[in-house]
Amino acid sequence: GQSLEQPPEVTAVEGAIVQMNCTYQTSGFYGLSWYQQHDGGAPTFLSYNALDGLEETGRFSSFLSRSDSYGYLLLQELQMKDSASYFCAVRDGRSNYQLIWGAGTKLIIKP
Protein backbone atom coordinates (compact mmCIF):
# COMPACT_ATOMS: atom_id res chain seq x y z
CA GLY A 1 0.00 0.00 0.00
CA GLN A 2 0.87 3.65 0.05
CA SER A 3 1.51 5.50 3.29
CA LEU A 4 3.52 8.32 4.79
CA GLU A 5 4.52 8.79 8.40
CA GLN A 6 5.29 12.06 10.11
CA PRO A 7 5.66 12.88 13.82
CA PRO A 8 2.47 14.64 14.93
CA GLU A 9 4.18 17.47 16.77
CA VAL A 10 7.60 19.07 17.17
CA THR A 11 8.54 21.87 19.58
CA ALA A 12 11.53 24.17 19.11
CA VAL A 13 12.87 27.49 20.32
CA GLU A 14 12.95 30.70 18.30
CA GLY A 15 16.28 31.08 16.51
CA ALA A 16 17.05 27.37 16.66
CA ILE A 17 17.13 24.68 13.95
CA VAL A 18 14.47 22.00 13.62
CA GLN A 19 14.22 18.86 11.52
CA MET A 20 10.90 17.24 10.59
CA ASN A 21 11.01 13.72 9.25
CA CYS A 22 8.92 11.85 6.72
CA THR A 23 9.06 8.16 5.88
CA TYR A 24 7.06 6.80 3.00
CA GLN A 25 5.94 3.60 1.39
CA THR A 26 4.84 3.71 -2.21
CA SER A 27 5.09 1.47 -5.25
CA GLY A 28 6.13 4.10 -7.77
CA PHE A 29 8.00 6.95 -6.12
CA TYR A 30 8.20 10.00 -8.35
CA GLY A 31 9.11 12.78 -5.93
CA LEU A 32 8.69 14.16 -2.41
CA SER A 33 7.13 17.57 -1.79
CA TRP A 34 6.82 19.66 1.35
CA TYR A 35 3.99 22.06 2.11
CA GLN A 36 3.40 24.54 4.92
CA GLN A 37 -0.05 25.28 6.26
CA HIS A 38 -0.88 27.89 8.87
CA ASP A 39 -4.03 27.44 10.92
CA GLY A 40 -7.00 28.37 8.78
CA GLY A 41 -4.85 28.86 5.72
CA ALA A 42 -4.14 27.03 2.50
CA PRO A 43 -1.19 24.68 2.04
CA THR A 44 1.68 26.44 0.30
CA PHE A 45 4.50 24.72 -1.53
CA LEU A 46 7.95 24.77 0.07
CA SER A 47 10.22 22.35 -1.76
CA TYR A 48 10.51 19.27 -3.92
CA ASN A 49 13.04 16.44 -4.12
CA ALA A 50 13.12 13.93 -6.95
CA LEU A 51 16.73 12.85 -6.48
CA ASP A 52 18.80 11.99 -3.42
CA GLY A 53 20.41 14.85 -1.60
CA LEU A 54 19.76 18.23 -0.11
CA GLU A 55 17.83 21.09 -1.69
CA GLU A 56 18.21 24.51 -0.09
CA THR A 57 15.92 27.51 -0.37
CA GLY A 58 16.79 30.26 2.05
CA ARG A 59 16.13 29.09 5.60
CA PHE A 60 14.46 25.91 4.37
CA SER A 61 16.25 22.76 3.23
CA SER A 62 14.80 19.43 2.22
CA PHE A 63 16.60 16.12 2.06
CA LEU A 64 15.75 12.85 0.34
CA SER A 65 17.13 9.33 0.53
CA ARG A 66 15.27 7.11 -1.90
CA SER A 67 17.06 3.96 -0.72
CA ASP A 68 15.77 4.61 2.82
CA SER A 69 12.34 5.91 1.68
CA TYR A 70 13.02 8.86 3.93
CA GLY A 71 13.13 12.60 3.75
CA TYR A 72 13.23 15.56 6.08
CA LEU A 73 12.59 19.26 6.11
CA LEU A 74 15.11 21.43 7.93
CA LEU A 75 14.23 24.92 9.12
CA GLN A 76 16.99 27.22 10.33
CA GLU A 77 16.86 30.46 12.33
CA LEU A 78 13.34 29.69 13.43
CA GLN A 79 10.90 32.56 13.61
CA MET A 80 7.54 32.69 15.34
CA LYS A 81 5.85 32.92 11.95
CA ASP A 82 7.17 29.43 11.15
CA SER A 83 4.63 28.01 13.59
CA ALA A 84 2.45 25.92 11.29
CA SER A 85 1.78 22.39 10.14
CA TYR A 86 4.20 20.86 7.67
CA PHE A 87 3.09 18.13 5.29
CA CYS A 88 5.15 15.81 3.18
CA ALA A 89 3.53 14.43 0.04
CA VAL A 90 4.73 11.74 -2.33
CA ARG A 91 3.82 11.63 -5.99
CA ASP A 92 3.20 8.07 -7.10
CA GLY A 93 4.11 7.50 -10.73
CA ARG A 94 2.26 4.17 -10.86
CA SER A 95 -1.02 5.69 -9.73
CA ASN A 96 -1.39 8.27 -12.44
CA TYR A 97 0.89 10.63 -10.49
CA GLN A 98 -1.48 10.74 -7.55
CA LEU A 99 -0.19 12.89 -4.69
CA ILE A 100 -0.27 11.00 -1.38
CA TRP A 101 -0.19 13.19 1.74
CA GLY A 102 1.10 12.58 5.24
CA ALA A 103 -0.91 13.64 8.29
CA GLY A 104 1.47 16.52 8.94
CA THR A 105 3.74 17.69 11.73
CA LYS A 106 2.59 20.61 13.86
CA LEU A 107 5.59 22.82 14.61
CA ILE A 108 5.32 24.77 17.86
CA ILE A 109 7.87 27.52 18.38
CA LYS A 110 8.56 28.96 21.81
CA PRO A 111 10.23 32.31 22.44
Which spans of this chain sit near another protein (rule: CB under 8 A)? 30-31, 33, 41-45, 48, 50, 87, 89, 91, 93, 95-99, 101-104
> Is residue 34 classed as helix, strand or coil in its secondary structure?
strand
Integer-rounded Cα Rg, in Å, for the chain is: 14
Distance CA 2, CA 93 (A): 12
Give 15 or 41: the residue with its C-beta nearer to another protein.
41
Give 13 or 54: the residue with its C-beta nearer to another protein.
54
Query: CA geometry: angle at 16 spanning 54 and 52, to 5°?
Result: 10
Give 17 or 50: the residue with its C-beta nearer to another protein.
50
Cβ 88 to another protein, closest distance in Å?
9
